[in-house]
Amino acid sequence: MLHAWTVEQIRAAESAALARTGDQELMRRAAGHVAWAVCDRLDPVTGAEAVLLVGAGNNGGDALHAGALLRRRGMAVTAVLLDPGRAHAGGLAAFRARRGRVLAVDGAGGGAVAGVLERADVVVDGIVGIGARGPLRPDAARWVDLVPAAALRVAVDVPSGLDPDTGTHAGPVFTADVTVTVGGLKPGLLLADDVAGTVLVADVGFAPKPADARVEVLTDLDVEALLPDPRTGSDKYTGGVPGIVAGSAQYPGAALLCVGGAVRVRPGMVRYAGPQAAAVVARWPEVVAGDDPSRAGQVQAWVAGPGMGTDEAALDRLRTVVDADAPVLVDADGLTLLARHPELLAARRDRPTVLTPHEREFARIFPDLDLADRLGAVRRAAALAGVTVLLKGHRTLVAEPGGTVTVNTTGSGWLATAGSGDVLSGVIGSLLAAGLSPATAAAAGAHLHGRAGERAAALRAAGAHQLWDLLRVPVQR
């Protein structure tokens, strides 16, 4: 499991380390990681041209110390001081001692900055780190816009302009190929990977406690450990029995896709209750199928929604499922019905329940929550409804009512295809039926589904049904 901490939490851990170690030493360590990240990606290092964008705080100090190290490796390094009177004194002294070139944007050097940036092989962003508030000020933002995309772009701690707690950026932002983040991951780096690039965590001698983190990432090993293979003595109920309510005359494929997701994650048995029973059994002979969830027999978790329609018959089926004691996942048309009948959602409060909306469905159920901050919105939705909420997107987020959010980092563009979400619902339904908690089942399901999407990309396997075969491929080590 990986963890990410808020700026406040990082600051608290940092202050204890500052008292122990001193800020110069911490900064030198951080700078060592930044310089290593640069040199590791350049060939040759000697003679390459680097530009440091240096703000007025310690983030700029990190960049200046890194610049001094890059000088030692024979690089031509120019420090652009955005606020020359307030540049970090220790960092500047170390940089000058290595005969680095200094340009001050408010002095004679200002005019030369654009030309220096244009030629740079590497640009190091030390404009602001976790001390910044709000969008970048115009005097800093103008330089971000001049950074050439062809250069290696390395952000110190956080790409300037990106909110480390939320991953939002209201104005210009430094787009990094690599972010070297100090002390621990920040949620914003996970959410805005398009801005942060590859994230390296620089261990400088302090780290917040994993137990304090409210944002987590599952790894392959975590997910494998949650899904043991069947053993001698297992029966169909130890594997788990999901019940699927999906599909309609208009969307028969949704039933097959959702059931397929459930079957291929290894439940003990899958039940189906809807109008496509014959088609389901024709494709999935292992499934026990009927049309009425109230007569389905023992079910350990329900999935309701994909392609089920929104008519009276669909509403009746959804009511039956919502009344069940077993865990329930509601997706797609089921979410549309929940938005129209809030009493059904209220009935699931504090009972094991997962909602899996994409952004439009989310906005229908939680119209007052602002999706500009997806992390904040999904967390508030889970707290408001008292259920687990999985918000789909490039970074799918899973929030439990207690406030912890899991960020899914697997996936590919090949998942953006009709029916892909139906498969995901079936996968999570199986995991719920196997006894995982709603948040763990949702996060593990999103992880498996994302890995399947990555394999689909590698194979160019188009079509959501291709995901069935790619869900439980063993992890390569």
Ligand X SMILES: NC(=O)C1=CN([C@@H]2O[C@H](COP(=O)(O)OP(=O)(O)OC[C@H]3O[C@@H](n4cnc5c(N)ncnc54)[C@H](O)[C@@H]3O)[C@@H](O)[C@H]2O)[C@@H](O)CC1
Question: Which residue ranges make up the annotated binding site for AMP?
Answer: 392-396, 421
> Minimal distance in Å, beta carbon 28 to ligand X?
9
| Residue 134 interaction partner, one of K ion, ligand X, none, beta carbon < 5-8 Å per kind | ligand X
Q: Which of 6, 58, 78, 160 binds K ion (CB under 5 A)?
A: 160
Known binding-site residue numbers for K(+): 59, 125, 160
Is the previous residue joined to 44 through a cis bond, with omega within 30 degrees of 0? yes
DSSP category for residue 215: E
Q: Check: CB of residue 341 under 8 Å from CB of residue 368.
A: no
Segment interacting with ligand X (CB under 6 A) among 57-65, 315-323, 348-356, 432-440: 57-65
Segment interacting with ligand X (CB under 6 A) among 53-61, 117-125, 277-285, 457-465: 53-61
Residues 346-365 contacting ligand X, CB under 6 A: none
Strand blocks (E) in 382-439: 388-391, 397-399, 405-407
Q: What tokens appear for 404 in the block?
A: 């912890």
Name the one residue in this structure whose structure tokens are 């590497």.
122
**Coil, strand, or helix at residue 185?**
strand
Contact between 53 and ligand X (CB under 6 A)? no
Contact between 26 and ligand X (CB under 6 A)? yes
> Minimal distance in Å, beta carbon 190 to K ion?
17
Q: Spell out a b/e string for 398-408, using b for 16 or more CB atoms within 10 Å of the CB, else e.
A: bbbbeebbbbb
Number of residues forming the site for ligand X (CB under 6 A): 26
Contact between 375 and K ion (CB under 5 A)? no
Known binding-site residue numbers for (6S)-NADPHX: 58-62, 129-135, 157, 254, 307, 358, 422
Q: Which is it for the CA torsion 159, 161, 162, 163, positive or negative?
A: positive
Q: Which of 37, 45, 56, 344 binds ligand X (CB under 6 A)?
A: 56
In the sheet that holds 215-217, the strands lie side by side as: 2-4, 215-217, 405-407, 397-399, 388-391, 353-355, 328-330, 301-304, 242-245, 271-273, 288-290
Segment interacting with K ion (CB under 5 A) among 123-131, 183-191, 214-222, 285-293: 123-131
Task: Give Cα separations from 133 to 130, 138, 162, 213, 427 (angstroms).
Answer: 8, 13, 10, 22, 41
If the CB atoms of residues 163 and 331 are measured against ligand X, the closer one turns out to be 163
If the CB atoms of residues 202 and 442 are measured against ligand X, the closer one turns out to be 202
| Residue 147 interaction partner, one of K ion, ligand X, none, beta carbon < 5-8 Å per kind | none
> Minimal distance in Å, beta carbon 131 to ligand X?
2
d(CA 259, CA 261): 5
Strand blocks (E) in 328-437: 328-330, 353-355, 388-391, 397-399, 405-407
Contact between 85 and ligand X (CB under 6 A)? no
If the CB atoms of residues 10 and 256 are measured against K ion, the closer one turns out to be 10
Run of H or E including 79: strand 76-81
Contact between 57 and ligand X (CB under 6 A)? yes
Residues 87-146 contacting ligand X, CB under 6 A: 128-134, 136-137, 140
> Minimal distance in Å, beta carbon 156 to K ion?
5
Task: Give Cα separations from 474 to 138, 209, 220, 227, 374 (angstroms).
Answer: 50, 31, 10, 11, 32
Contact between 58 and K ion (CB under 5 A)? no
> Minimal distance in Å, beta carbon 374 to ligand X?
21
d(CA 333, CA 349): 20
Task: Give Cα separations from 74 to 24, 43, 438 (angstroms).
Answer: 23, 12, 54
If the CB atoms of residues 204 and 365 are measured against K ion, the closer one turns out to be 204
If the CB atoms of residues 121 and 157 are measured against ligand X, the closer one turns out to be 157
| Residue 415 interaction partner, one of K ion, ligand X, none, beta carbon < 5-8 Å per kind | none
172 CB neighbour count, 10 Å cutoff:
17
If the CB atoms of residues 147 and 265 are measured against K ion, the closer one turns out to be 147
Residues that bind ligand X (CB under 6 A): 18, 23, 26-27, 30, 55-60, 62, 128-134, 136-137, 140, 156-157, 182, 204
